[in-house]
Structures are given as C-alpha cells and as structure tokens.
Amino acid sequence: MKIVFSKYYTAVSPGHVFRADKFEAALKLLLKEGVVLKKDVLAPEEPSKADLLLAHSPGWVNKNLNFKFTAEDGAKAELKITRGVARAHLMNVGGTILAARLALENGIGVNCGGGSHHAFHDHGEGFCLLNDIAVAVKKLLKERRIKRAMVIDLDAHQGNGTAAIFSGDKRVFTFSMHGAGTYPEKKEKSSLDIGLRPGTGDAAYLSALGRELPRALDKFGPDLAVYVAGADVYRNDLLGGLGLTVEGIKKRDAFVFGECRARGVPAALVLSGGYAKKFSDTVRIHANTIKTGARFA
C-alpha cells in the first residue's frame, strides 16, 4: 500500500498541545513493523495557488503563500505561525490531494497527516490553516474525476470549517460525529451532525455509527469518501471528551473502511486530531488506523 508523507509535515511548535511530529512517528512505527516499505512512501507536491483558491479566499491564500499572517490570524488559529508551520499546512494539502488520487486508483489512499477540518474559507481555526479536505474534494470535482463526495468526519470535534465551505454544495455530503459539548463552541451545520454525550464509550459510539453511516452512504451514493479519522476519540485524550478504547477505535476504523468497500466507494484517509496524555498512545492509534486501512487495500 502506498502512503503519502512529507518531511515538511513535522513542524516544530514547542509546548503546543498539537504535536506535528506524531505523523512522522506513526510512519516510523509502521516502517519498523513492516506494514509499510520505504519504497511505498510517496512525497506530495506543493499545491498550486489555483488549487488553494478552490476552497479559500484570495486574501487567505495570499497570506499562506507569502507568509503575510497577522497576530490576529495566529490567535484565531491558536497557533504560533512560523514559516515551518505554514509550510507544513501547505504540504498537508498536497498530501491529501495525492491520497485522494490514490484512493480513486487503488480503492484506498492514505495521507499520513492531514485532516485540517477547522480551517474556513477565509481564516484558520483550531490549529488548522488550510482545509486540505475541501481543497482535495473540490479539485477532483473540478477535474470531473468524481461527481459526488462524502466527508466522513469521526474526529472528536465537529468539522466546522469543512461544513461551512461545503454549505449548499449538493455534490458533497458532510457527515460529522463528534462530542456535542466540545470545541468548537459554535457548531456549523453539516449535512448530518451526530452530537455525542461526554464520555461516550465503545458500545454507544459504534451503535450510532453503525446506524447512521450506512444509511448516509446508501442515500447519497458518493464516488469518493474522505475519512477524517481523529485519534482524539480516545478515552485518555486531553481534548476529545469521549471514551473510546484503543480496540474500540480499531472497530470504528474497520467499520468505515468495510462499509466503503462494500459499496465500491474509494476511501482517502486523513489523520486529523490526537492529543493523548501519552504521546505514544496517539502515535499507536494513528498507526493502527493506517494498518486497518491496509487490510482493505
């Protein structure tokens, strides 16, 4: 299985709860375990200005490409935006574009990174500057590689930026299952929002997913699914507020990949959030998700 990763994903942000090195650590773990071979790791290209403009405003694209951020931009995104951080977010967009292409070719495409679902059309939020999910989907729609796409967002937090960007676009179905009382305080309207109580564990979570996702897939019939597989649903996550076990997350992932494959829907994986008390737990969960995807490739 091919896996997309760029060395530029690993931006240094000392003391920040979002550790960008988790993606590289997950890849190293997969290489060590022989799940992925070095020859199968593909480096993405930087997205073009035209690519970014598919989902973002000219002003915001200019800030990202020319490093023209203001202090207010950093405050909104809750990030210290260094050149390394800006480049990481840019390259993650390229990574998700490539993963989506691989999904169409092979059935499964994996970006060992990505999932910046809090980035809006004209600003960043929630540690996200550019919405790689929206850019990738809009690019494939523009190229007429697909006619309909579904974003299956199972990060612990609502994909508010993605929902806002695709609001009113009948070609894209945004499915978000998240903690009802967690960030963001102001939720956007997805095509389907499933808000969960704090501490929701494996049984209740998997029951809701098993009830709602097949119904949405059957009704909408996408040509591509982008699976936002946040590790922050883990019960020992600092920011997630939910109560899944590692085994429960494995079952979540297997269910999503299985439902997509059963319908012949190509799936592009992005990893998104993960802030476990033990960094190694986040890394293991991300690696497990990719390993599960490999079973369906």
Quickly count: other Cβ atoms within 10 Å of residue 218's Cβ: 10
Q: Pinpoint the alpha helices (H) of the chain.
A: 21-32, 49-53, 58-66, 71-77, 83-106, 132-142, 160-165, 202-220, 246-262, 279-295
d(CA 297, CA 288): 14
pLDDT of residue 14: 85
Determine the 3-state secondary structure of 241 from DSSP: coil
d(CA 115, CA 234): 17
Half-sphere exposure of 289 (CA within 13 A, CB side): 36
Say if CB 286 and CB 26 are below 8 A apart. yes
- CATH number belonging to the domain at 3-295, selected among 3.40.800.20, 3.40.50.920, 3.40.50.720, 1.20.1070.10: 3.40.800.20
pLDDT of residue 186: 95
d(CA 180, CA 107): 32
Determine the 3-state secondary structure of 221 from DSSP: coil
Give backbone dihedrals phi and psi of 192, rounded to 5 degrees, phi first: -145, 120
Is 118 catalytic? The answer is yes
pLDDT by residue, tens only, the chain of 297 residues: 899 999 999 998 888 999 999 999 999 999 999 999 999 999 999 999 999 999 999 999 999 999 999 999 999 999 999 999 999 999 999 999 999 999 999 999 999 999 999 999 999 999 999 999 999 999 999 999 999 999 999 999 999 999 999 999 999 999 999 999 999 999 999 999 999 999 999 999 999 999 999 999 999 999 999 999 999 999 999 999 999 999 999 999 999 999 999 999 999 999 999 999 999 999 999 999 999 999 998
pLDDT of residue 192: 98
pLDDT of residue 116: 98
pLDDT of residue 12: 83
**Choosing from 56, 117, 118, 178, which is the catalytic residue?**
118
Residues in the chain: 297
d(CA 20, CA 79): 12
- What is the maximum span of the chain, computed from C-alpha positions, in angstroms? 47
Sequence-distant (6+) residues with CB within 8 A of 264 are none
Question: 161: closest CA among 127, 121, 132?
Answer: 121
d(CA 233, CA 198): 11
DSSP state of 95: H
pLDDT of residue 297: 86
What are the residue boundaries of the structural domains of the chain, listed by start? 3-295
Which residue in the block uniquely carries the two structure tokens 């403009």?
Answer: 53
Dihedral sign from CA coordinates of 75, 79, 80, 82: negative
pLDDT of residue 263: 98
Q: Residue-wise over 49-85: b if at least 16 C-beta within 10 A, else e?
A: eebbebbbeeebbebbeeeebeeebbebbbbebeeeb
Tell me which H or E stretch contains 227: strand 224-228
